[in-house]
Amino acid sequence: MSLFVASRSALRAAAPLKRQFQVRRYATEPTSADPKKGSNTLLYGTAAAALAGVGYYFLGGTPAAKKAEEKVKDAAGAAAEKLPTVEAKAALTGGDQGWVSLKLEEVEIVNHNSKRFRFRLPEDDMVSGLHVASAILTKYKGPEAEKPVIRPYTPISDEDTKGYLDLLVKKYPNGPMSTHLHDMVPGQRLDVKGPIPKYPWSANKHNHIALIAGGTGITPMFQLCRAIFNNPDDQTKVTLVFGNISEDDILLKHELATLENHYPRRFRAFYVLDTPPKEWTGGRGYINKELLKTVLPEPKTDNIKLFVCGPPGMMDSISGNKKSPKDQGELKGILKELGYTPEQVYKF
């Protein structure tokens, strides 16, 4: 139930992905629209295959899958041609703009600890002003606090969505910003600033990218996925490895399963759960070396990039943590042991 809610909300948020899905829905509903069926089958199947050491899966797309992908691509291309080329007004312009106060319009419960927040942009025809990959900063000063807390978030709404932006936020016990957000009610306002540029993406910048995410670390990865799969000219292959505590914690599960259905030759996802249910056939425990060695493109592969985003403990074990927002720090951990170079890895 809760995952279904998550799916509906984020699909609504991700406008161009939604556009593509609507194109397809005229003919057939994607299997992943059934929250109980499609995604789980896919999820268990792909992760099991990975763990069994099945080889390079991108070569395995069926002719039907290829045809479906081409159909979506053609339709999306035709739609893109009709789009007006006028630059939309941006709500967040960076530089010396300072903080912009946004009104909370809607809150949706996504699961036991996460909510989606829809904030109105100052004008209805404004876009957020974000480019992929980038984030926003939020600021809040509690009544007793000496200093405000400032935290980054990656909107899950699309960059060309007009009038609002959506944040998907997990609540941390005693976490000042996430608790404040979870306590907010529609009508209240939040100070935001941005965009905070991360890794500038352009179509086909890399042949193959791997996204290694833990928990809400999925949000910047989803932003990259949207940029790639909403652009019919972008042919980048994407491998996602997504670690969570329990099945209920998997955010954007349906959107990711839909990507797998539509782009089986270019998008694959592998899920790892710390406390899996009995019937779980995906990865168990933490994201480990064995799984990454099996599913990631090899270090010697031409023009690959690995993105990592997750809690500090996960970052530590996989890539080492960033030193500061501007300093990627040393490459350590599993990715170093597997032979990747610092240039091949980006830490969000």
Please identify which residue in 154, 161, 239, 317 interacts with ligand FAD, judged by CB under 6 A. 154
Please identify which residue in 4, 57, 58, 172 interacts with ligand FAD, judged by CB under 6 A. 172
State the helix-helix crossing angle for 253-262 and 63-82, rounded to 10 degrees.
110
Rounded CA separation 39/30 (Å): 10
Rounded CA separation 344/348 (Å): 13
Which CB sits closer to ligand FAD, 304 or 315?
A: 315
- What is the three-class DSSP state of 106? strand
- 178 is annotated as contributing to ligand binding: yes
- 30 is annotated as contributing to ligand binding: no
x/- mask, ligand FAD, residues 201-220, rule CB under 6 A, reads: ---------------x--xx
Residue type, 106: E
Q: How many residues form the binding site for ligand FAD (CB under 6 A)?
A: 22
x/- mask, ligand FAD, residues 329-348, rule CB under 6 A, reads: -------------------x
CB 14 within 8 A of CB 262: no
CB 144 within 8 A of CB 235: no
Residue whose pair of structure tokens reads 């074990």 in the numeric block: 317
- What is the three-class DSSP state of 5? helix
Which CB sits closer to ligand FAD, 11 or 48?
A: 11
Please identify which residue in 176, 234, 245, 288 interacts with ligand FAD, judged by CB under 6 A. 176
Q: Is 151 in the site for ligand FAD (CB under 6 A)?
A: yes
x/- mask, ligand FAD, residues 217-236, rule CB under 6 A, reads: --xx----------------
* Residue 150, H or E segment: strand 149-153
Please identify which residue in 178, 231, 239, 258 interacts with ligand FAD, judged by CB under 6 A. 178
Residue of 152, 297, 315 whose CA lies nearest to 219: 152
Please identify which residue in 6, 10, 135, 296 interacts with ligand FAD, judged by CB under 6 A. 135
Considering the complex, what minimum distance in angstroms separates the CB of residue 311 from ligand FAD?
A: 6
Q: Cα dist. 344→136, 304, 306, 348 in Å?
A: 25, 7, 6, 13
Residues binding ligand FAD (CB under 6 A)? 135, 149, 151-154, 167-170, 172, 174-179, 216, 219-220, 312, 348
